[in-house]
């Protein structure tokens, strides 16, 4: 008598694989399954410790629907789903413990300045802790080597998008910041070519123009890099490389600090990869700045 293999599971083996599978099926999910998928992608920490009845009630479906969703993804029922969510939570547990005191600072009557510092430190740390090495390497290589780079972020994401575009233009040629001003979005997108790199930034509430632009860039053969807030973001779908950024704030205005830190770090990665080529580019830039007297002349000490 032959023996059966002990492990016949063909479904996702990690939370990242689960996200890939959900996104691949996003167009065919029923409305009920889409609700479950959105909750799993946006809040795996909570799902990790929810009972099946709690998750069903939270998204407004019945328990059988939750089971069908999990088994449809190739998981061993609902326990298989929560196992992957708990593994994701364990990966970040050390970081969460490290910064738990920062959240207490923000919730125990500290002043606005102290709360802002604490939350922004946590935003930066959590953002960088979630970055996979392969994702980082892919994004930096494409930003350094693509024939042309396009960077787009509207409304609250305009500032970090402008910063990334500005820094990259100091390092290499053919970098454009897409502003979609006065109806020029289609003109900007017409210049997106196969092999280009397209960076799209948006967090909830997501800019419809940024989403459409990222989808267009993907269809045009560009390598899409997304800066967004969670795995249920509509930018995660068209992106090849996705960076999830925390934006918690002590006020009603969401924080862009982690966005700025990631933009600076990514520019630094591109500079490191380009090496001596960057030095030559910066020297040429310095000559132009001096020739056009862009900066005020420093006054000698009196």
pLDDT digits (tens, 9 = 90+) for 167-221: 999 899 899 999 887 778 888 899 999 999 999 999 988 999 999 999 999 999 9
Higher pLDDT, 152 or 115: 152
- Residue pair 241/225 in contact by the 8 Å Cβ criterion: yes
Surface-to-core class of residue 279, CB atoms within 10 Å of its CB (0-12 exposed, 13-18 middle, 19+ buried): exposed
Total Cβ atoms within 10 A of residue 246: 24
Cα→Cα distances 200→13, 70, 184, Å: 29, 31, 16
Q: What is the CATH number of domain 132-289?
A: 3.40.50.10490
The answer regarding whether domain 15-91 maps to CATH 1.10.10.10 reads: yes
Cα→Cα distances 158→66, 163, 165, 274, 290, Å: 39, 9, 10, 26, 29
| DSSP strand pairing (241-244 vs 197-201) | unpaired
pLDDT digit string (tens) for 215-266?
Answer: 999 999 999 999 998 887 889 889 999 999 988 877 777 889 999 999 999 9
**What is the per-residue pLDDT for 71?**
93
Q: State whether the Cα torsion 205-211-213-218 is positive or negative.
A: positive
Where do the structural domains in the chain lie, given as residue ranges?
15-91, 132-289
State yes or no: pLDDT of 160 exceeds 90.
Answer: yes
Average pLDDT score over residue span 31-49: 88
Indicate whether this model's pTM tops 0.85. Answer: no
Higher pLDDT, 164 or 41: 164
What percent of the chain has a predicted confidence (pLDDT) above 90? 49
Total Cβ atoms within 10 A of residue 238: 22
């Amino acid at each position: 008598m032959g023996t059966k293999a002990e492990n016949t599971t063909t479904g996702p083996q990690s939370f990242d694989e689960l996200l890939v599978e959900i996104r691949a099926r996003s167009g065919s999910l029923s409305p009920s399954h889409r609700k479950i998928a959105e909750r799993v992608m946006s809040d795996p920490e909570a799902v990790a410790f929810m009972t099946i009845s709690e998750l069903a009630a939270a998204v407004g479906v019945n328990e059988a629907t939750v089971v069908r969703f999990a088994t449809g993804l190739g998981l061993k029922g609902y326990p298989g789903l929560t196992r992957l969510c708990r593994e994701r939570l364990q990966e970040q547990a050390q970081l969460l413990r490290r910064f738990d005191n920062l959240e207490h600072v923000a919730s125990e009557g500290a002043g606005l300045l102290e709360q802002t510092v604490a939350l922004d430190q946590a935003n930066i740390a959590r953002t960088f802790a979630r970055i996979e090495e392969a994702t980082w390497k892919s994004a930096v290589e494409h930003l350094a080597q693509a024939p042309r780079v396009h960077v787009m972020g509207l409304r609250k994401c305009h500032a970090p998008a402008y910063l990334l575009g500005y820094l990259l233009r100091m390092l290499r040629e053919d970098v454009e910041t897409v502003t979609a001003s006065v109806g020029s979005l289609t003109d900007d997108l017409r210049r997106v070519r196969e092999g280009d790199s397209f960076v799209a930034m948006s967090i909830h509430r997501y800019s419809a123009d940024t989403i459409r632009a990222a989808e267009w860039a993907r269809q045009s053969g560009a390598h899409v890099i997304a800066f967004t807030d969670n795995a249920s973001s509509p930018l995660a779908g068209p992106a090849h490389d996705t960076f999830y950024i925390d934006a918690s704030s002590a006020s009603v205005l969401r924080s862009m600090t982690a966005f700025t830190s990631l933009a600076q770090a990514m520019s630094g990665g591109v500079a490191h990869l380009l090496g001596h080529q960057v030095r030559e580019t910066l020297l040429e830039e310095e000559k132009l700045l001096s020739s056009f007297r862009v900066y005020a002349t420093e006054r000698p000490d009196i």
